[in-house]
Chain A
Amino acid sequence: MRSNTFIQFAATLVAFVAACLFPAWSMAATHNVVLSAETLPNGQPAYKLLSHTSSNGTVPGYATEATIPGPTLFIKTGDKINVQLTNNTQSPVSFTAPGLSTGNSALAAPGQTKSYRLNARKAGTFAYHDEKAPMLGLFGAIVVDESNGHVQSYVDGDGTIVSTKRSQLSKEFVLFMVGSTFWGAEISRNGNQQPLWANPDLGAYQDDLLRFHVLAVGPGHTFHLHAHRWIEPGSSQKTPHIIDTHILDDLNNSHVFTIKAGTGVGPGVWQLHCHLISHMQSGMNSRIHVVARDSGQSADSIVGASPSGAIFLNDSDQPGLVTFIVSDEPAGWFRSARGDALSPVTHTKSLEIIPPGSSVHFVMSDTAGVHTITSLLWPSEAGHNDHGGDHFMIPFDETKAYRGGAILKLNVPGLYVFTCKIHPFMFAAVIVDDPATDGLDLGNTIDLISGVKNLPTSSDLATRLLHTFFVTTVPKNWQDFTSPNPWKIAYPDVDVVVDIGKVSLPAVLNARYGNDISLSPLPRPAVPGIGEVWVDTQFEKTAGKTKPGTITVVDTSNWTLKRKIALPQINMNNPHNMWPNRDHSIVYTTQWFDNKLTAIKQKTGKLASNVQVGDSPSHVMTLPNTDDITVAINGENDIVIIPAGTTKVNYALLTQSHGQAPGNPHGHWISADGKRIITPNINTHDAGFYDVEDGKIVARTATGEGQPGAHPIAIGMLPDSSKVYAANLLHHSVSVMDGDGNFIKNINLIEHYDPISGAINGPIGILPIQSPVSPDGKVMVTASYGGQIVVIDTRTDSIVKSLPCDPGCHGANFGAKKGGGYYAYITNKFSNRLIVVDPDPNGDGDLSDAEIAGAVTLVADSRVPKDDKISSLAGFGGQGIVALPNVYNGWVQNLNSQWSAGLTDQQRNPVQ
């Protein structure tokens, strides 16, 4: 007994002395945390806490399910954490906590378990997350507190700074700002954790002390909470910097502060939101309900939309959430997080189904570009002001392109289609289905972004858009001219409810647009062209890079492929449009889903330079007089200029005045004298005329008859600059202006189309895109997404005829035909061939005999030189196209003798 007592006493003494000398060290604990990575019902991955044991014996009460954000780990400075992670998802996952991690972070393959070690040296809140795709849901917080129990002081209503201990807190909130969504969790006073999911409504009693842990993974944010203020972390206690908005500018950034709820302002429902205007517009807001303690009102938080909530195939009482990953990957640009699981039935990965009251969510986690999330069409009723404020959100749109995501609750049954204004073939469809009805509810009528209202869902235009959706978003629905089989379009085998009742979706679409159509390959053109044609085969994938896109070089002397250029060393991403320099030693291409302009050596196909120019650059042209490079920055608000012979942007020419909505110019054109740039401003629905020398705006002319979403996308111009054409993608028209921007007329390309019955009684062009004018000024051709090539006589500005094109018909440019005249080269996004149009085969100036001269495959066989192995989608994604020699007036005169050699005198001087 005596000796035991002595030992006890001695041990106590040692512990006491140690505690005095090394307080932090002595209390340091070791935590063993066992996690798994799970897949939630909507396809998003999430961390789940399986067990947490601590050498100091105290662990919080964790949620029993996998949650977003993952479990919040509370530890103290000096603690160590051993993490064991088992991967129960279908993809490799990992765990890292920058600032805390020691050693490397191993990747756990599906089914594998890996271990990680963390050391908490300094206090703060740290994000832990998956390294590869953290924005999708694999993220959580580790709170490292001071061992003395102090948290940040708060500012009281009378201005006093009050020091605070964690034990005084009523609640803590963890809010992850990811994409354009808040993901929340609440930690109660007794340490119990509750997931609050997406954009929850927080709750608190007035005068509750609350600590917020705001964290971000992915693109940055600023956090703002209405009616409250707090001390900026890092401030001195004596003269603190009081703020109410704070930046989270990097991956892993965090911002922690304490407030007294409602102090100085009283009860209320106070918004908290990201203060980036684009993120506000994309739905990034939540609220905190501060209620008086004696009011009888609940101070409980209200859970937001949940990946485990009510969505198709997952019954739940909670509001659900479907998530689309925004991607640079062809067809799956808006890809449901559970697209792989759904697509055996839906074929597309871009269709989701939810009950009313659930939400749709987008996260730009797999893209290097900027985008918008914009309603293309929606149930007419959803835009009306009688659904508790839905009309504030629908049509859904943002003023400018951005990095982030979007979140939107949908209450009205029917069909919603979203697109990106910058890349208007990115589609996601959501059917809000009333479970009480038999068949999927498409609603009675839809409204379109282009201003069409109350269009019956059984109309030809509505079903044509659905057909376009299923062709665009499913690669196996694309026209493969190397396949011996007929062109088969797969649709989900479902009944849908439209204005005329329940119908079979595939039966209607097959009856209206055909199926199992045999593709007859066209012969090559009989008359050769001059030189080369370079095609941006934007969707073709190669083995050596993660991003899609190649350039296909066609030799027009014999219509064979000369080269494939993938540039794996720069992971070239969605090359979109090209133009050569003056001596044709270099061809420039834009990377539309990135921020670079890439210069390629014409002779070898090798990389010359790769220059940052701005977000989502679309088109490139040179100034004919100086050879300076001009690039339309489609994701922003300017044309940037790179002086000839240099590799740095010199200055930018703004497409609008200061403070105005960005123009987001797409396919510009330049006058033959190099003095004027004309841009189609897709965001502001106008053609902008700019003076190159002084950078001033000459005119901005509304196109598409001022319709709200005309979406001018490409400019064509007469060689003498006397007339300018703007193709309006969503208005199905071409607007004609004079060289100073005065409006002349609008050419309606769907005059001969009845959108209800679908009757077509003349030439049409649905969804017109590139629309160049021939170098001699006689003809304009318009490649139309809907599958037509429209031939327009520039003397009368009227449609002469329309020729059949492939799905996603997109690019057009002229090159010299051997012996005189011009070919119009036409590309298609969803077929793998180049179509060659001869607008005037006999050269008599009468365009009525315009015809398709032939076609050339864009699929390379083994003999074609390439810098990377073609892995899939061979030859697909034809967009920008340019012919060398460049025979447009203003440029053709500058050709060197090597490139002008094969041209006729007339081709060398197209305007006599």
Chain B
Amino acid sequence: MELEFGCGFPTHDSHPLHHLKRSCKTLSTGIAWSMATLALLLLFSGTTAAAGNLHNIVIYAERLPGNLYGYRMAGHIVRQPDGTQIDITNRYVTSTATIPGPTIILDEGDIADIELLHQFDPHTPFQEHVSLHVHGVHYDRESDGTLKYINLYKDESAVPHLSYVYRWNAAPGTAGTWPYHDHNMENHNGAEDKGLFGALIVRSAAEARQAKTSSNRAHVSPNVAKDYVFYLGDDAFWAMEIDNATGKQTALGTNPPLTAQRNTNVRFHLIALGTNFHQFELPKYQWIDPGTRNTINRKVLGPLEKHVFTVKATHSSRYQDTAFASRLLGMRGDFIITR
């Protein structure tokens, strides 16, 4: 296993991302780079015998136009306990970095090793670091994704020519939707407000079992047709859609129109990010406030809070943020029901 992962990624030739292997070998620091990966894998080799899957994921942090940054999925292999492995990279947008970044879906009990590569101009001052800091799931002090200035241990960053591998443990009790974001670019707070954020969905063990046995091989949940990951920034919604039939992720950009087929269930994963507070509404719909039996029709959210709910798509509406500044800045979009 160690050899197979010598460059932080499975090396079988048929892999669509074989260019990664090449770029890895051509890097002058390639040896140090692989050693880091190897060391980490050895360190964790004792704990990988968990009941769940082991995910090997490679993500690039890249520069986008307009002084923004984003994460790009480079590869995602799922290794199941029986030894079989599935390449699910084609579910993601791989052609470009996206905002939000790839939505990573794990099951309760799974472990993910995520290698992050620093892929932008290393000469920009104060941008030598970039990281992944994740919420909710378990990780030890190697994988906090912070700088030594904060954790008093080490800089947990991808830097130019040297990747960093984070291990996320979706242990029992961590089911839910969680944000991940940079914590290290420019300073110890990171550049989460410049586009370096995404979502992690940990399916509960029950939901994962249900999904596996469902007739339509649902990729996120057997109970919903579409998942919308919705980041509420200070000036726009940033949306991503996941089709449950195919598992395919589509980055929708800012304040996009959403479409859903009539009478199907769709799930919203709202995460706020920035400085402002928000008030989310989907007029003429109501839903259950998680953890309660309360039916609500609006939700106040502060930065990095999450709110997940499912509605049955019965009529067209409009999602909107009715906080004063958000309303003026046009934070809204259509929710269109198709037949």
Whether the pair A661, B277 counts as a contact (CB closer than 8 A) is: no
Whether the pair A276, B302 counts as a contact (CB closer than 8 A) is: yes
Q: Any chain B CB within 8 A of the CB of A152?
A: no
Given the interface contacts A245-B305, A268-B153, A652-B329, does A158 sit within 8 Å of B300 by beta carbon? no
Whether the pair B328, A649 counts as a contact (CB closer than 8 A) is: yes
**Distance of A400 Cα from B328 Cα, bound (Å):** 18
For B141, list chain A residues within 8 Å (CB): 227, 265-269
**Distance of A389 Cα from B151 Cα, bound (Å):** 12
For B328, list chain A residues within 8 Å (CB): 614, 638, 640, 649, 651-652
The bracket for how many chain A residues form the interface is 35 or more
Whether the pair B172, A276 counts as a contact (CB closer than 8 A) is: no
**Distance of A257 Cα from B146 Cα, bound (Å):** 24
Whether the pair B235, A220 counts as a contact (CB closer than 8 A) is: no
Q: Any chain A CB within 8 A of the CB of B139?
A: yes
Whether the pair A659, B194 counts as a contact (CB closer than 8 A) is: yes
**Distance of A814 Cα from B140 Cα, bound (Å):** 65
Select from chain A the residue with minimum beta-carbon distance to B141.
A268
For B135, list chain A residues within 8 Å (CB): 224, 244-245
B contact patch SS: loop
**Chain B contacts with A in 118-172, Cβ cutoff 8 A:** 133, 135-136, 138-141, 144, 146-147, 149-153, 169, 171-172
Select from chain B the residue with minimum beta-carbon distance to A612.
B324
B194 CB to nearest A CB, Å? 7
A623-658 interface bits toward B, Cβ cutoff 8 Å, 1 = contact, 0 = none = 000000000000011101000000001011010011
**Distance of A275 Cα from B304 Cα, bound (Å):** 7
Whether the pair A159, B149 counts as a contact (CB closer than 8 A) is: no
B24-32, B208-216, B217-225, B286-294: which lies at the A interface?
B286-294
Q: Any chain B CB within 8 A of the CB of A490?
A: no
Contact of A224 among B99, B147, B304, B330 (CB under 8 A): B304
Whether the pair A392, B174 counts as a contact (CB closer than 8 A) is: no
Whether the pair A658, B235 counts as a contact (CB closer than 8 A) is: yes
Q: Any chain A CB within 8 A of the CB of B187?
A: yes
For B273, list chain A residues within 8 Å (CB): 277
**Distance of A158 Cα from B51 Cα, bound (Å):** 13
B54-67 interface bits toward A, Cβ cutoff 8 Å, 1 = contact, 0 = none = 00000000000011
Contact of A222 among B138, B149, B305, B330 (CB under 8 A): B305
B143 CB to nearest A CB, Å? 9
**Distance of A17 Cα from B174 Cα, bound (Å):** 46
For B227, list chain A residues within 8 Å (CB): none
Whether the pair B304, A392 counts as a contact (CB closer than 8 A) is: no
Whether the pair B149, A277 counts as a contact (CB closer than 8 A) is: no
**Distance of A220 Cα from B301 Cα, bound (Å):** 11
Number of A-B contacts (CB under 8 A): 181
For A657, list chain B residues within 8 Å (CB): 66
Whether the pair A243, B305 counts as a contact (CB closer than 8 A) is: yes
For B324, list chain A residues within 8 Å (CB): 612, 614
Whether the pair B149, A660 counts as a contact (CB closer than 8 A) is: no
A369-406 interface bits toward B, Cβ cutoff 8 Å, 1 = contact, 0 = none = 00000000000000000001100110000011010000
**Distance of A565 Cα from B293 Cα, bound (Å):** 55
B286-330 interface bits toward A, Cβ cutoff 8 Å, 1 = contact, 0 = none = 000011110000001111111000000000000000001100111
Contact of A654 among B139, B151, B235 (CB under 8 A): B235
**Distance of A159 Cα from B138 Cα, bound (Å):** 11
**Distance of A659 Cα from B274 Cα, bound (Å):** 10
Given the interface contacts A249-B277, A264-B138, A661-B67, does A277 sit within 8 Å of B189 by beta carbon? yes
For B146, list chain A residues within 8 Å (CB): 226, 271
Whether the pair A651, B302 counts as a contact (CB closer than 8 A) is: no
Whether the pair B233, A659 counts as a contact (CB closer than 8 A) is: yes
Given the interface contacts A241-B291, A280-B189, does A658 sit within 8 Å of B138 by beta carbon? no
Q: Any chain B CB within 8 A of the CB of A234?
A: yes
Contact of B302 among A159, A249, A388, A389 (CB under 8 A): A249
Contact of B99 among A227, A389, A652, A659 (CB under 8 A): A659
Q: Any chain B CB within 8 A of the CB of A246?
A: yes
A253-284 interface bits toward B, Cβ cutoff 8 Å, 1 = contact, 0 = none = 00000000000111111110001111111000
For B178, list chain A residues within 8 Å (CB): 244
Whether the pair A268, B140 counts as a contact (CB closer than 8 A) is: yes
Q: Any chain B CB within 8 A of the CB of A155?
A: yes
Q: Any chain A CB within 8 A of the CB of B254?
A: yes
Q: Any chain A CB within 8 A of the CB of B334?
A: no
Select from chain A the residue with minimum beta-carbon distance to B307.
A241
Whether the pair A660, B329 counts as a contact (CB closer than 8 A) is: no
Contact of A244 among B136, B169, B195, B275 (CB under 8 A): B136
Whether the pair B189, A281 counts as a contact (CB closer than 8 A) is: yes
Whether the pair B67, A156 counts as a contact (CB closer than 8 A) is: no
A/B interface sample: 19 pairs, CB < 8 A: A159-B171, A159-B172, A220-B302, A226-B133, A226-B144, A227-B141, A231-B291, A247-B305, A265-B140, A268-B144, A268-B153, A270-B144, A270-B151, A277-B275, A637-B329, A649-B328, A659-B68, A660-B66, A660-B67
Q: A249-B277, A657-B66, A662-B235 are in contact. List 20 more A-B contacts (CB 8 A).
A: A158-B173, A160-B173, A222-B303, A227-B138, A236-B291, A239-B291, A241-B292, A244-B178, A246-B305, A247-B302, A264-B138, A265-B139, A268-B141, A269-B152, A275-B302, A277-B193, A392-B187, A612-B324, A614-B324, A649-B328
Give B residues with C-beta under 8 Å from A.
66-68, 99, 108, 133, 135-136, 138-141, 144, 146-147, 149-153, 169, 171-176, 178, 187-189, 192-195, 233-236, 238, 254-255, 273-275, 277, 290-293, 300-306, 324-325, 328-330
9 closest cross-chain pairs (CB), A and B = A241-B291, A159-B173, A159-B172, A235-B291, A268-B141, A247-B302, A222-B302, A658-B236, A275-B304
